[in-house]
Amino acid sequence: MMGTTPVLFALVALCGGLGAALRYGLDSFISAKFGALLPWGTITINVSGSFALGFLTGLLANTQLNEAWLLAMGTGVLGGYTTFSTASFDTLRLLRAGRPFSSLANALGTLLAAVLAAWGGYLLSSLL
């Protein structure tokens, strides 16, 4: 594991801001298009972020990506982009709204889809 330098720290922080801005924009767009039956924006963000992190991790494992880029993109961009806390709150919000099946579908569906997406991203990177 490489040490943190001031430049790498700043790069991860800047990339985190970029990821958060991407999340906000995409979530706003998807929520406006598809409504609030399920939190489709958060689901899309977490599944696509899991795919991307799986892909980047696979590239690192195949020595096609250096660790600094994984930190900037994975920890920075994707750390700011994905949101476990919002997914957790969305699940609770659905439960409190008297929608236990939607709550369960959101929690388990997002978890399963995100894990499968990460695996798919990792497998795809091995084809390169």
Pick out the residues of the known binding site: 79, 82
Per-position b or e across 36-52, b if 16+ CB within 10 A of its CB: eebbbbbbbbbbbbbbb
122 close to 57: Cβ distance less than 8 angstroms:
yes
d(CA 50, CA 128): 19
Binding annotation for Na(+): 79, 82
Q: Which spans in the chain are helix H?
A: 6-34, 40-61, 67-70, 79-81, 84-96, 100-126
Q: What tokens were used for 14? A: 């800047």
